[in-house]
Amino acid sequence: MTANRVLVTVAHIHNRPAPYLKRLEQAGFEVVRTIGKGGGKLSEEELTEALPGVFATLASSEPYTERVFKSAPDLRIISRWGVGYDAIDLEAATRHGVAVCTAVGANHEAVADYAVALMCALQRGLVHNHRLITSGQWRTEFRPGLWRATVGIVGLGRIGQAVARRCRGFEMRILAYEPQPDRAFVREHGIELTSLEELLRRADLVTLHCPAAPETHHLINRGRLQLMKPTAHLVNTARGDLVDEAALHEALTSGRIAGAGLDVFEREPLRSSPLFALDNVILSPHLAGVDQTSEAAMADRAIDAILAVRRGQAPTRECLLNPEALAVR
């Protein structure tokens, strides 16, 4: 087998110790770490240039297109350091015999932790309170609490369910919009299933946990923001494409909604934005799913898949998105 390189494109670990990568080296791979020129994800051109001789990628969210696959005859597997795969042309990957795997089940608890942290920070005004005291002001401002508030969870998959479990600890009323709900989970946790519009009208906090897809592009748009309470907060730790950022900025500046916590954006990395000037937003660089526990768990899942393909075996079924690709080569 001539291709013996694994390309690691994850910016989070580009210049950090990553002891789990030794597993790849012990299997005979040369591990090459690279990121895009701007410090973020690789462009299509940069990825194309980096792939000759690469057997596998431990991948971030760089674009895997038909053009990329045509230029990478040695590539056998894309193993995502994460769970999203909207940047990968899955049909093209299958045609070219490239298995696509995700680290499903490895970071949903971390994302849920972060989403609830944003809810608490927004609802209790933590950032605002910090700015008060550092500007020399000592005063009390009464804000809504998290206890017994109404939360609307959009998407009740692994992450949405993990958020719901946490919300029960705050005795919150839980609304959820989910086209294919786990009815047993819904009953067990006392969740009320609603339409998206009804959820937006009633929730004090709206948290998004659905995938990026054509049908979810700008799921939260100007019209739907107008349905929300003026006291409500929006949290997005899922995908930037779910929210129309221009409409959100308008809603935040006009008082249509009270605030937002965003970990993901329509364009990443986010270098500038009108949102930067607002006091009622909390922004972070797409890291909700990354803590010390989930980092190792995601890496191990991704590496397990690479090593399985190297051995001529199928990766774990729940991680492998296109098993038919294994039969192409």
Supply the CATH number for residue 98's domain: 3.40.50.720
State residue 329's pLDDT score.
79
Is the pTM of the predicted complex or chain greater than 0.85? yes
CA distance 105 to 159: 9
CA distance 307 to 25: 11
> What are the tens digits of pLDDT across the range 81-134?
999 899 999 999 999 999 999 999 999 999 999 999 999 999 999 999 999 999
Range of the domain at 38: 5-106+290-327
Q: Are residues 262 and 190 in the same domain?
A: yes
Q: Are residues 36 and 116 in the same domain?
A: no
Please choose, from the candidates 17, 99, 102, the residue with its C-alpha nearest in 3D space to the C-alpha of residue 55: 99
Residue with tokens 């299958």: 94
32 sits in which H/E element: strand 30-33
Please choose, from the candidates 168, 187, 227, the residue with its C-alpha nearest in 3D space to the C-alpha of residue 203: 227
CA distance 69 to 46: 13
Residue with tokens 């492998």: 320
> What are the tens digits of pLDDT across the range 162-184?
999 999 999 999 999 999 999 99
Mark the ranges of the chain whose per-residue pLDDT is less than 50.
Answer: 1
| Number of domains observed in the structure of the chain | 2
Q: Are residues 126 and 262 in the same domain?
A: yes
State residue 40's pLDDT score.
81
Give the residue numbers annotated as catalytic, written as ranges.
Answer: 239, 268, 286
Q: Are residues 43 and 83 in the same domain?
A: yes
Q: Are residues 278 and 135 in the same domain?
A: yes
State residue 12's pLDDT score.
83
DSSP 109-176: HHHHHHHHHHHHHHHHTHHHHHHHHHTT---------STT-EEEEE--SHHHHHHHHHHHHTT-EEEE
Query: What angle is formed at CA 55 by the lines to CA 53 and CA 56, rounded to 5 degrees?
Result: 130
State residue 64's pLDDT score.
98
Q: Are residues 114 and 12 in the same domain?
A: no
Strand 281-283 vs strand 192-193: parallel, antiparallel, or unpaired?
unpaired
Residue with tokens 């991704």: 302
State residue 168's pLDDT score.
98
Residue 120: how many CB atoms within 10 A of its CB? 15
